[in-house]
Structure 1
Amino acid sequence: MKEDIGHAESDQFGSGVRQRRQELGITLDQLAESSGVSSAALSRLERGILNPSLRNALAIAKGLGCDLSELVQQESAEVVRAGENLRFEDERTGIVRLTLARPSPEVELLSYCVPAGASSARFGAHKRGTKEIFHMVAGRLEVHAPDQVIQLEGGDTATVRADCEHWFVNPGEAPAHFILTILR
């Protein structure tokens, strides 16, 4: 059984292929050569006439040097309403984490509220090159990394390597609120 991507996704995919191909400055013939999909089929696909098989869609993405997901255009905006966020509360520490956005597998935006005196678990090393950006909204926070302890207060921002063990502590007498951006 041949798996196809859906019609709406096909139109988005075709537009994404055309846009990426034009950004790279390559012709249909060049893409046909690198992907193994005929230039006639690529032309029909870009115009939304052809619904590609999953196999061909993957080959085209590879020929363009990108992931398939990059070729399916997203909505111009994604909105998460208050109360719809994924929420986690650590019963032991009282630390609350909200997932604000995850626009791609490589980027995550989180909101943390850390009670006075609370400490997070020790986070193991993330993938090599991962960074975490702490932006303090209110309160105080100590970010612990193997070679240093970073003191932060409301309005401060710190970028920290997260490819090593790390954790945070609220040394203050009031809750600490910070926004964490993870770049993988």
Structure 2
Amino acid sequence: MPLPFLTADRALDEDGPAAGDASLPYEDPSRRRRPYRPGPWRIGGGALLLLLASYVLFSAMIIALAGSVPAAGICVGGAALVILCAVRLVRAGVWIDEKGLRLTGLFSATTVRWSQVAAIHTAQQPVRWLGLPRSVQGQAVLIELAEGGAPRVAFTDHGADFLGRPEAFVMAADAIEDRAARYR
């Protein structure tokens, strides 16, 4: 079963069969897609959340068999919330299409149209390690908006997708910069 939210945009790879092509043959070019594969930290976190949800669902079954259906319902609701968080965690990241960038986080999502983007570049700066409050020196892909203001951080090399994968970070940064140059 194909999982489109886990696939990378191979059309942006230079050595792929569709190099220079705007989309894969079976994809709609206007459909949002991620220009990189989710990293092992993001997939591992989602898997741990799903494991936790399975334990909570198993405990809900035991509680229901013991005769306390309302308490089992609370457990099922908690498990559904954990499953929702796991799905949101895996879907978090940068998504691109011909209209703009979609910066998706765990609890929020922001769309930036290509006409609003002044520049996209990579900068060396302190970044958060795996999204935690601890800062380390690293690289970040910054989106500068045409109307000014502080640049937005699209992703960093110490995030859940690129920690320990510097070549994937460079490829994703180049892909987004190329796409921005094409659509602006």
Query: TM-score, normalized by length of structure 1?
Result: 0.24
- Say which structure is richer in strand: 1
TM-score, normalization by structure 2: 0.24
The structure with more helix, counted as a fraction of residues: 2
Higher-Rg structure is 1
